[in-house]
Structure 1
Amino acid sequence: MKLAFSTLGVPGMPLSDVVRLATAHGYHGVELRAHPEEPVHLGLSGAERADAAAEFKASGVEVLGIAGYARVAAPGADEPVLAELRALCDLARDLGAPYVRVFPGGGEQSPDEADATAVRRLGAAAEYAADAGVRVLLETHDSHRTGAAATRVLGTVGHLHVGALWDVMHTWLGGEQPSASYAALAPYLGYVQVKDIASADDTVPLALGSGVLPLTECVELLSRKGWDGWLCWEYEARWHPEAAPLPGQLAAGRAHLGQLLNESA
């Protein structure tokens, strides 16, 4: 498996510093948060996109994915969401990223309503993603935090270029065992976000291996099933300024994930 970290853990950090950290600590790739407060966002010019792509290519660090904020199950008109999905696919294509992350965002709708909206939008975006050479991944999050909930949507869409991003915290918070999450998500799985927290009531990010999330079980399961994709450490420093800074933990996090992979081999 390849290892990456998300720039959500280093909010606002220039790309040159992100690349330096990844290279120094042995990470194969980086998930780039796409937001106006970040160096990577939908408003980048063509020249800025080309420069960013060239910097990553020269370093040997891969751009794993573009972490967007489109909410595909949210109430409201379809076209603004579809326009955002198309723009995210274009950004991923331009930066050489194979994946685009989106959220469900179903809110207070009934599950049936939220599912139908997400299916309609993802189905409409699928061919655009295919033409761009990327996959749109629905993260296990908010209204669809379990694998079972996400696959209600993905199984109906039924398109190779629409898949799943397994956030192990959200499936755990949803009460789903890793074996059940994997069984549901495996046919659609793009990559896996790992993290650690103290409890269901305290989700301030912790160093990997120091909290309660079943990371050992998840990695062992993925290895046993022969899955050979990406593990991405999503350290949510942007939402928890009280958390210890990520850069000083990257070496230990890389070592912990390496140990888990070795033990499960």
Structure 2
Amino acid sequence: MKLAFSTLGVPGLPVPDVVRLAVTHGYHGVELRAHPEEPVHPGIGPDERSQVAAEFKAQGIEILGLAGYARVAEPGADEPVLTAVRDLLDLAHDLGAPFVRVFPGGRPGQPPEEADALAARRLGTAADYAAGVGVRILLETHDSHPTGADALRVLGAVGHRRVGSLWDVMHTWLGGEQPQETYAALSPYLGYVQVKDIASADDTTPLPLGAGVLPLTECVEVLSRHGWEGWLCWEYEKRWYEAAPPLPELLGPGREHLARLLNESA
């Protein structure tokens, strides 16, 4: 498996510094948070896109994916959601990134079957566009669809190879799902896996990998046992927890922790 980290852990950091962190600490790639607060987002122009792609390529670091904020199950008109997804796909194509992340985004009180149908219809519509630009859309296990079983209801209805899943290990755990259950649900669709650690279900402040309660050992063991060879991406949510320790000083120990888990499960 290859290792990456998300720029959610280093909010606003310039691209050259992000690349330098990846090189210094031995990561293979980076997930870019594609939000206007960040240096890379759908609003940047062709020259900036080319420069970003070149900076990563020059150092041999891959852009794993773009973490976007389109909410495909959110009530309302389809077109604003589809426009956001297409803009994200275009940016990923220009940067050479294979994946884009979308959220489910269903609202409290929304009937699950309505949320599922909205998400499936929009993802199905966006899938052909994704195929045209050579990028894959990943539905994250998050918010209204926190478990693999929840995501599977949508992905099974879409049935398109350009629409897959992003397994966020915190949300599936909070949803009461065991790693083997999540893998069984998502394995036909799995793009990559976001790892992290937290103190408890009631305190989701980010911790160094291995210092909390999330079943990272079990997740890596399940993936290894099934021969999965994709990406593990550390999503350290510094953006939402200002008091959390800075990510850069944790990147080296975090990579070593993941490498140990991979060696132990081999």
TM-score by length of 1: 1.00
Q: Could you say which residue in structure 2 is the equivalent of 1:15?
A: 15
Q: Distance in 2 between matches of 1:209 and 1:110?
A: 37
The one-letter code of the counterpart of 1:40 is V
State percent identity of aligned pairs.
75
Alignment of 1:98-247 (within 5 A): 98-108=98-108, 109-247=110-248
| Cα deviation code 1:192-228 (max 9, x no counterpart) | 0000000000000000000000000000110000000
Q: Does 1:93 align with 2:93?
A: yes
Counterpart of 2:217 in 1: which secondary structure?
Answer: helix
Q: Distance in 2 between matches of 1:165 and 1:110?
A: 23
Q: Distance in 1 between matches of 2:245 and 2:237?
A: 11
The one-letter code of the counterpart of 2:59 is S
The one-letter code of the counterpart of 1:129 is A
Deviation at 1:46, TM superposition (A): 0.4
> Could you list the runs of 5+ residues in structure 2 that have no partner in the other structure?
none
Q: Distance in 1 between matches of 2:28 and 2:79?
A: 36
Q: Distance in 1 between matches of 2:59 and 2:102?
A: 27
Deviation at 1:116, TM superposition (A): 0.4
Q: Could you say which residue in structure 2 is the equivalent of 1:74?
A: 74
Q: Distance in 2 between matches of 1:27 and 1:146?
A: 27
The one-letter code of the counterpart of 2:167 is W
Deviation at 1:13, TM superposition (A): 0.1
> Could you list the runs of 5+ residues in structure 1 that have no partner in the other structure?
none
Counterpart of 2:76 in 1: which secondary structure?
Answer: coil
Deviation at 1:74, TM superposition (A): 0.2
Q: Distance in 1 between matches of 2:36 and 2:211?
A: 32
Moved over 3 A (4+): none
The one-letter code of the counterpart of 1:105 is G
The one-letter code of the counterpart of 1:143 is S
Counterpart of 1:204 in 2: which secondary structure?
Answer: strand
Deviation at 1:82, TM superposition (A): 0.3
Residues matched between the structures, number = 265
TM-score by length of 2: 0.99
Q: Could you say which residue in structure 1 is the equivalent of 2:3?
A: 3
Q: Could you say which residue in structure 2 is the equivalent of 1:50?
A: 50
> Over aligned residues, Cα RMSD in angstroms?
0.4
| Cα deviation code 1:76-130 (max 9, x no counterpart) | 0000000000000000000110000000000121100000000010000000001
| Cα deviation code 1:18-60 (max 9, x no counterpart) | 0000000000000000011100011100000001001111110
The one-letter code of the counterpart of 1:200 is A
Counterpart of 1:203 in 2: which secondary structure?
Answer: strand
